[in-house]
Amino acid sequence: MDAPWPAPGTPLTELMTPLPVIDEARLAGNIARVQDYMTGIGRNFRPHIKTHKLPELAAAQVEAGAVGINCQKVTEAEVFAEAGFDDILITYNILGPARLARLRALNDRIAALSVTADNAVTVRGLADTFGPDRPLTVLVECDTSAGRCGVQTAGDAVALAQEIARAEGLRFGGLMTYPPSGGAAKVEAFLSETLTLLSQAGLPCPTVSIGGTPDLFLSDQVPSATEHRAGTYIYNDRAMVRAGHVGPEHCAMHILATVVSRPTETRAIVDAGSKALTSDLLGFQDHGLIEEYPDARIVALSEEHGTVDLSAVEGPGPQVGEMVRVVPNHTCVVTNLFDRMVFHDGARVTRVVDVAARGKVW
């Protein structure tokens, strides 16, 4: 039986919970504000679709001025190619015959596909898959101190760039990094050193792509970059407020939840558990902020229950049946849990959209 998704016009107060909802005005404001900043500093902007997974919102981002989109997986990129997007960067080491075959089909289909690589095994797999008739653009991923993927030195970056450039079916597209928050100086140092070495080696570097929402408005502190990627900024969340990226008035996503139990004077149970909020803490000690009761703390999650400590709340606190709005710690992972996303104008549902790329992990 289909889940009962609400029709446009339905008052928010009548929605079944738990349910993430998106404020249209805040969403539009976030898209415009960030694009304006990027345009202002003369930087290409390439939104990461991981946060919304919705072609409709990516279209709004491109309409606002984005140069293209950023996906993390081949199957995500397929969804967006199907929806008409023709400039897609997949920031991932693509490995294995099945995935490489799909990547090749995707490259045959859209105007500008690019991927990243940080190791020779990945580059060899790509080189064996693509030919000069329809080459693939490959950027070198650099670890500029975030400690995830990426080559470790400027010299290693250049060596891998040369391997890419030597492959008949590949084009060296430039450098890409997932930068650490607060690390602009280190990022710039790594990138500028690499650019110098690339220049000495006679290798043109068309794109230098940095990213992240927390330091988005500090993108100009990395002058070597030509492009910025970011996902979370479109909805924002508790972690972005803590990081100082925005104030709470720019959080477009809330999870609507209902108080289902008040076992004690200091304990409430809401129907938003890890299947609605996810267990992502991102450094917080609790699982989201309840807007109506900011002194309440969601101290534990089961799959369908959130346990709320009301010790610090003045007055009687929320009652059984009461609906509350929770700002999640991390918006992107919430999106991946729901088949559709519900948008609203503050009072009523405006649209309900299929989360087209939900669950695309390959």
Binding site for its own copies (CB under 8 A): 1, 3-4, 14, 16-19, 50, 72-73, 75, 78-79, 82, 92-93, 95-96, 98-99, 102, 118-119, 121-122, 125, 143, 147-152, 258, 260-264, 267, 269, 274-276, 278-281, 300, 302-305, 307, 319-321, 332-333, 336-339, 359-362
Structure token pair of residue 63: 């309409």
Q: Which is nearer to its own copies, 200 or 319 (CB)?
A: 319
Report in angstroms how near the CB of residue 100 gets to its own copies at its nearest: 11
Q: Which is nearer to its own copies, 208 or 269 (CB)?
A: 269
Q: Report cis status (omega within 30 of 0) of the bond before 18.
A: yes
Report in angstroms how near the CB of residue 42 gets to its own copies at its nearest: 29
Closest CA to 239 of 221, 253, 228: 253
With vertex at residue 258, the alpha carbon angle to CA 27 and CA 239, rounded to the nearest 5 degrees, is 40
Tell me the one-letter amino acid at 231.
Answer: G
Report in angstroms how near the CB of residue 119 gets to its own copies at its nearest: 5
Report in angstroms how near the CB of residue 97 gets to its own copies at its nearest: 8
Q: Which is nearer to its own copies, 99 or 348 (CB)?
A: 99
Q: Looking at the chain, how many residues does it have?
A: 362
State the Cα–Cα distance between residues 14 and 17, nearest whole angstrom.
9
State the Cα–Cα distance between residues 88 and 109, nearest whole angstrom.
11
Closest CA to 105 of 69, 81, 127: 81
Q: Which is nearer to its own copies, 346 or 359 (CB)?
A: 359
3-state secondary structure of 299: strand
Q: Which is nearer to its own copies, 295 or 339 (CB)?
A: 339
Q: Which is nearer to its own copies, 38 or 176 (CB)?
A: 176
Helix and strand counts by DSSP (H, E) for the chain: 10, 17
Report in angstroms how near the CB of residue 205 gets to its own copies at its nearest: 21
Report in angstroms how near the CB of residue 9 gets to its own copies at its nearest: 15
